Every structure is written in structure tokens, then in C-alpha cells.
Amino acid sequence: MDFELIKQDPHCQARLGLIKTSRGEIRTPAFMPVGTQGSVKGLLPEQIRSLGADVILANTYHLYLRPGHKLIAALGGLHRFMNWPGPILTDSGGFQIYSLAALGRITEEGAFFQSHIDGSKHLLTPEKVVEIQEALESDIMMCLDECTAYPADRRKIEAAVARTSAWAKRCLQSRNNSGQALFGIIQGGFYPDLRKRASEEIAALGFDGYAIGGVSVGEPKQLMLDTIAQTAPLLPKDSPRYLMGVGTPEDIIEGVYHGIDMFDCAMPTRSARNGLLFTNEGKLVIRNARYREDSSPIDSACDCYTCQNYSRAYLRHLFIAGEILAMTLNTIHNLRYYMRLMEQIRGAIAEGRFSEFRSDFLRKRHPDDTNGSDRD
């Protein structure tokens, strides 16, 4: 994997770049649709590509449990298994272990956990996580990390930082396929000094890219934004910077402003399945009775297949009736909204006007908020 930093906006930290992999290029800033179990719910791979996605995310933890990395390897790897020819990033499963904490425990060796599927017991070590991801043949692998909740005792977070650094070294040592990129993860909770320590330790190991983890775990929005602003500049400039599990369109705008290159979040697809749609004017809840006779598209400025062919009234009917097509059409729109947003962001950076773009975007979303802060 190679990363080319094409341009940085002269008025902020926003960066325009290009990640080059053997399976294609990733234009940054980039948003990765989430295909946790080898599928972006409701869509064909061809549809995902047509929406403008360069890369998708799959999850090591889930694919390890079902159907198993050895089976996927035997069938030609994850790309062939799911019929996606482009780049794939696989998360290590650290966040899933955190979210299922009641079913496991963390030691220096790794993460012991009980499967949420069948109750079977497993141990994920840094070495095992790399082994699984190499079997999947993902283009970008993630190190195993320890994610902490909010709030958490400082001593617990210090221990998690130390353990994540130790695990990162073991991931590097166990790596066999140099053709797959490996990203290190920065933890540290919401303590600036611990984030700085973690950034220095992980950056010193020389990964292909770096991720900010441990945010969007229940903390106040402004605290998350402050942590991103403090941490992103600490990461190497000549490598991709990835903000894990974030998020809303506003969060993406702020992340780009502070120098983030990659994002992922289940929000656009999960929201689509629940009838929450994104538009240039804000969010739209399609089940609302006001759309029963509305002949207009979700968003008149959107070029997606759904907006070009279907009315709000029809989409509301499908959703209320529980038709599967509602989820597919809604997902097409939401993902295209996110991809168009990334296209607009890249264009603004290329033209040196991202700060202006950010201000205009946030003002439309929050008319009473002129500086883009304290948005909940």
C-alpha cells in the first residue's frame, strides 16, 4: 500500500490524498460502507460500487465466528467470497470485544470471550487476529486493541494504552504477508497526555497507517471533537489517518477539518433500515404521515437511483408495509448521500476552500450555531 498526500488545505488541516492498493485506489477523505459479515446489508456489490464507494469494511471478529476464516480462505479469500473486487479493510474485532464485555475478559495474552452466536469460548490474541486477516486477504488489516468505555478510571485507561502498544508490537512481529497493509490504533480515552503517549508509542513502530480508536463510546460530542483535534496532528503526516466508528455527516466534516482521511460507520445503512434518511436540509423520517401524499423525491438535489425514480409517498408506503424493497431503496439513497458528501469535501479541499465549505454546511444544519461547536 502506498499513500500519496496530494494537497492540504491552506486554512486548516484538511487533506486530499490517494491510497494505492493492488486492488484499486482509495480517494481520501474516504467513507467506508460497513459490511460487517461480508455484506453491506440490502445491496449488491455492483450497487455499492455505483454509489461511489472505493473501499468497504468487514469485521474480523464476526467472520472468524461465522463462517470461519479458514473456510473463506479455502474458497479464494474474502474478495472472491463476497464478489467485491475493490479494497477491503478488516477491523480487528477490538470494538466488538468491548461491546460484548459481559461475555469476556482481557488479559495480557489477549481477549477471552464467549461467542454471542452459540456460547462457544475463544481467545483472540494479536497473533490470531493477524492470522485471521491474512487468511481473509484484506487489503488493510487492523491491530488488536483494547477499547475502553466512557467514563473509565484513568488507571484502567493507562493499562489499556500499555496493552494496546504491546499488542501492536506482537501484531507486527506475527505479520507474514507484506502485501497487506497494517494499521496501528491509538487509544488513551479522553486524557490528552495519554493520547499523546499512545500516539508516540504506536507511531514509533512504523505502521502503514494509524487509527484513532476509543471514541463514540458514550462521551459528550464536544469531548469527542476535542480529542480528535488533539490527536490527529500527532499522527505521521505521510500515512493515512483513520477515525474509527464515526459517524454523522457533521462528525465527518469536523474530522476532515482536523486532518482525518478515512471514516466508517454503520449509521447510513442502519438508519436507512429504520426509515431515517439524510438530505441536504437535514434528516427525514419517511414513516411520518406528512409524506403520505408527497410526490417529491427524498432530496431533489440527489442523483441516486432512488431519488431519480421514486417518491416519498411510495417509499413511505413500502416502509409502513414492511416491504424489503424499502430497506434497499433507503440504503441506496443514504450511502449515495455519504458518497456525494465525500466528493464535495474532496472538491472543496482541492480548491482550497474547505473551511468555507465546512462553515456553510454546519450553518445549514445548525442555523443558530455559527462556529460549529457543541452540536448534539
Evaluate if residue 218 carries a pLDDT over 60. Answer: yes
- Note whether residue 376 is domain-resident: no
If one counts every other C-beta atom within 10 angstroms of the C-beta of residue 336, the result is 24
Quick one: pLDDT at residue 376? 24
Q: Does a structural domain hold residue 5? A: no
Whether 301 and 237 share a structural domain: no
In whole angstroms, what is the distance from residue 110 CA to residue 129 CA? 10
Q: Are residues 249 and 337 in the same domain?
A: no
**Whether 211 and 82 share a structural domain:** yes
DSSP structural state of residue 299: -
| Judgement on whether residues 253 and 283 belong to the same structural domain of the protein | no
Do 256 and 338 lie in one domain? The reply is no
pLDDT of 102 above 90: no
- Asked if 197 and 291 sit in the same domain, the reply is no
Q: What is the mean pLDDT of residues 126-131?
A: 97
- Residue 373 reports pLDDT greater than 50: no
What residue numbers bound the domain in which 329 lies?
Answer: 272-364
Task: Count CB-CB contacts under 10 A for residue 39.
Answer: 16
pLDDT band for position 96 (cuts 50, 70, 90): confident
Range name among 68-72, 251-255, 362-366 with the lowest pLDDT average: 362-366
Query: Rounded distance, CA 162 to CA 143, Å?
Result: 14
Residues 233-253 have a mean pLDDT of 97
Q: What is the rounded distance in angstroms from the CA atom of residue 171 to the CA atom of residue 274?
A: 38
Length of the chain measured in residues:
376
Question: Does the pLDDT at position 205 exceed 80?
Answer: yes
* DSSP-derived secondary structure letter, 246: -
**Predicted pLDDT at 103:** 77
User: CA-to-CA distance for 106 and 162, rounded, in angstroms?
Assistant: 13
| 359 in the same domain as 242 | no
Domain-embedded: residue 10: no
Assigned domain for 184 exists:
yes
Please report whether residue 211 resides in a domain.
yes
Mean pLDDT of all residues in 105-125? 93
**Domain termination residue (choose one: 265, 287, 312):** 265
Given 228, 244, 265, the domain boundary residue is 265
Q: What is the pLDDT of residues 4-41, one digit of tens each?
A: 999 999 999 999 999 999 999 999 999 999 999 999 99
The answer on 204 and 88 residing in a single domain is yes
Residue 212, domain CATH: 3.20.20.105
| 311-332 average pLDDT score | 98
What are the beta bridge partners of residue 210? 184, 241
Is the model's pLDDT at 370 over the cut of 50? no
CA 345 → CA 245, 250, 287, distances in Å?
A: 19, 12, 30
Number of domains in the chain: 2
Rounded average pLDDT over 349-358: 97
Q: Could you give the residue numbers annotated as active site?
A: 91, 264
